[in-house]
Amino acid sequence: MGNPRNKQRKPKRRKRKAQSTAEGRTAKRQKSAENISTSTTQTPSRPSQDPLAQSSSNTDESPISTSASKLEKAMQDHEKKTESDQEEIGFVLFDCSILQSVFGTLCCPECKSESLKFEEVREQKKGFCVFFLLRCGNCPWQNNFTSSNRAMNSRMWEVNGRAVLAFRNIGVRYEKITDFSKTMNMQKPMTRNNYDKLIDSVHAAYMKEAEKSMKNAVEEVKEKTDSCDFVTSFDGTWQKPGHASLNGVVTAIANNSGKAIDFEVKSKKCKACETRKHLDKNSNEYRDWYTVHQHECCNNHTGSSGAMEVAGIKDMYARSEEKYGVRYTVYVGDGDSSSYSTIANAKPYGPDIDIVKKECVGHVQKRLGTRLRKLKVSLGKKKLKDGKGIAGKGRLTNKLIDKMQNYYGLAIRQNPQDLNGMQNDIKAGLYHIASSESKPQHDMCPEGKDSWCGWQQDKANDTHTYKHKNSLPEAIVDEVQPIYDDLSKEALLSRCLDCYTQNANEALNHLIWARCSKKSYQGKKVVELCTASAVTYFNDGASSVFSVLERLGIRPGSNFNAGVGIADRRRVCLAEKFSTDKVKKQRKKLRAIKKGLWDKDKEKEGNVYEAGGH
């Protein structure tokens, strides 16, 4: 049975424990809220750019992330817009049977009898907007009302505009909206024809807002640099992989601000043209139709899908001076020589203005891995000078290729504006991997106790703890040496001295295709809408939808404003967290572990380079 006292004490202990846990959670939430609210106003210093540097004394200070710098002004403007908002209920989902039971308990305002009937007028339904009729069973009194108001200065029902905008921003097509309605036991949504009309309205609003956002981004860079010559990164992305896509998007991002300043959508298909392809193009009927249609035709590209990137970049260069009054004099690309050479030869700013090419460090780093894998395939089972093949255990494995590629990229990133340092570290990485106990080749590795090379650390400390593992055979070094020599040339590395990347373009591409599914074909207008939506969110955060709703004649509302504020603050808070040294090292470690490059022994010694992180 036990002691009765213990039975009385246990609930008290559990209660105290639960109380302390709840207090701890409350304190943690309060602390998190304080961090989020102050993240946009603090301006701490940036961390060290050295990927191998240990946590410095300023670890308590949070770095300024790109998201924080981009959204600071947008969040302040949004707070000013929402200061005068009144609290309102907004839209809710409810079961009509519950509403029917509520009205059944009310009295008729005319005859005062409890005989009110609540009905849904299905014949007058407009998409998600439902018409209701409240009538009395004993007298002629009745009242008609709807579940939504119309947008201001428009025939659009507010609930339909909000629904299409919301579903399109999360990448949901019309067919999936019908699935949503069916699962929710709702009537069918708007017809496909009305849906297309709503898409036209949302498309027009987003395109205007995107143009405004990109123009503001250009003015920001001009004010910051006091120059009209921009460093701009360009990148193309396709709806379908393998350059067999009917749609492609080209984006331009200013390096100084990290914001999108222009985009171009290319398409090789127009459904309206396909429906009339049976007509004689010389007939009067076709000519009359095409005269009206040519201004809105979706087919704006002929040729291969791969050429969409070049065509889009040419269009953006051609309109940069007229549209913004700027010139894209520094071109940051992914190594596609055809795009740059086409722009450079076109001389868009006249014969006296040259376009300077800069490489994306990430894409240059991948070249080494790509060429080493091709070398491995081309040699196959061919015997090298040591009588063995290039592949196999202790030879050129995929794991070793990843390690060599990482060393190559690190050598570039750690030597900005130092061409000789880049070339030296690239060779040092190869010879370090090729070193063995009988033949150490660490002369080019940095010297001293703080060197990333364990052999040089032993030399400085007068110890003998470093052991060579899985050394690259000399026969394979002779095969890969020409590749290293080619990728160490001054012509290539001189374009990497500024360590520019296209990471911002890749992030924007991800936002575009999150809104526009790659699994099924989408028309040019939808792709353009999704791109404009991604650009406004990328530049100005979730608060950009506020202006889009206003352009549609819809008041955003207090619930919307609160949700937008939370979303933007959370984005900034997470960006600040992910940009700290601690989280960066953890992310690099996980990436190295996934690739099989992490060495636990080197991790204990604090040698991040040898452990595989960079």
**C-beta separation of 82 from 555 below 8 A:** no
CA nearest 555: which of 162, 78, 79, 127? 162
Q: What is the mean pLDDT of residues 64-88?
A: 67
In the predicted structure, residue 534 carries a pLDDT above the cut 80: yes
Task: Tally Cβ neighbours within 10 Å of residue 195.
Answer: 20
State mean pLDDT over 2-9. 47
Residue found under tokens 């036209």:
200
Backbone φ, ψ for residue 73 (5° rounding): -70, -40
Across residues 33-37, what is the average pLDDT? 44
How do 356-359 and 247-254 pair as beta strands?
unpaired
Residue count (the chain): 614
Residue with the larger pLDDT of the pair 591 and 184: 184
Q: State the pTM of this model.
A: 0.81
CA dihedral sign of residues 415, 419, 425, 429: positive
**Regarding beta strands 129-136 and 116-126, do their DSSP bridges make them parallel or antiparallel, or are they unpaired?**
antiparallel
DSSP for residue 448: S
> What is the per-residue pLDDT for 405?
92
- Whether 591 has a pLDDT exceeding 80, the answer reads no
Please give the pLDDT value at position 520: 85
What tens digit of pLDDT does each residue of 255-307 get? 988 999 999 999 999 988 888 888 888 888 888 888 888 888 889 898 888 89
For β-strands 327-333 and 229-238, DSSP reports them as parallel
Supply the pLDDT for residue 78: 66
Q: Is 87 exposed, middle or buried (0-12, 13-18, 19+ CB in 10 A)?
A: exposed
What is the pLDDT at residue 587? 78
17: confidence class by pLDDT, cuts 50, 70, 90: very low
Asked if residue 153 has pLDDT above 60, the reply is: yes
**Count of CB atoms situated within 10 Å of the CB of 492:** 16
Encode pLDDT of 109-138 as tens digits. Answer: 888 888 888 888 888 889 999 999 999 988
Tens digits of per-residue pLDDT, 195-242? Answer: 999 999 999 999 999 999 999 999 999 999 999 999 999 999 999 876
What pLDDT shows up at residue 53? Answer: 34
Beta strand pairing status for 247-254 and 229-238?
antiparallel
Quote the CA–CA distance of 408 and 200 in Å, as a whole number.
49
Please report the pLDDT score of residue 83 as a whole number: 60
C-beta separation of 324 from 261 below 8 A:
yes
Residue percentage of the chain with pLDDT more than 90: 50
Q: Is the pLDDT of residue 583 over 70?
A: yes
Helix (H) or strand (E) segment spanning residue 134: strand 129-136
- Highest-confidence range of 60-64, 112-116, 334-338, 444-448, by mean pLDDT? 444-448
Instruction: Using alpha carbons, select from 296, 270, 274 the residue that is nearest to residue 203.
Output: 296
Sign of CA dihedral 419, 423, 424, 429: positive
User: How far apart are the C-alpha atoms of 49 and 29, rounded to whole Å?
Assistant: 32
What is the mean pLDDT of the segment spanning 571-579?
82
Fold held by 92-147: N-terminal domain of TfIIb (2.20.25)
Checking if the pLDDT of 331 tops 90, the result is yes
- Over the chain, what is the mean pLDDT? 83
Q: What is the pLDDT of residue 598?
A: 67
Contacts of 408 (CB under 8 A, 6+ apart): 365, 368, 426, 429, 487
Cα–Cα distance list, 530 to 161, 272, 305 (Å): 16, 21, 20
- Angle between helix 192-225 and 524-540 (nearest 10): 40
The two structure tokens encoding residue 384: 């090298």
Q: Which of 235, 247, 353, 351 is nearest to 305 (CA)?
A: 247
- Above pLDDT 70, what percent of the chain? 83
pLDDT of residue 323: 93
Domain ranges of the chain: 92-147, 194-359+503-554, 363-499
Q: In the structure, what pLDDT confidence band is assigned to residue 599 with cuts at 50, 70 and 90? A: low
- Where residue 56 falls among pLDDT bands split at 50, 70, 90? very low
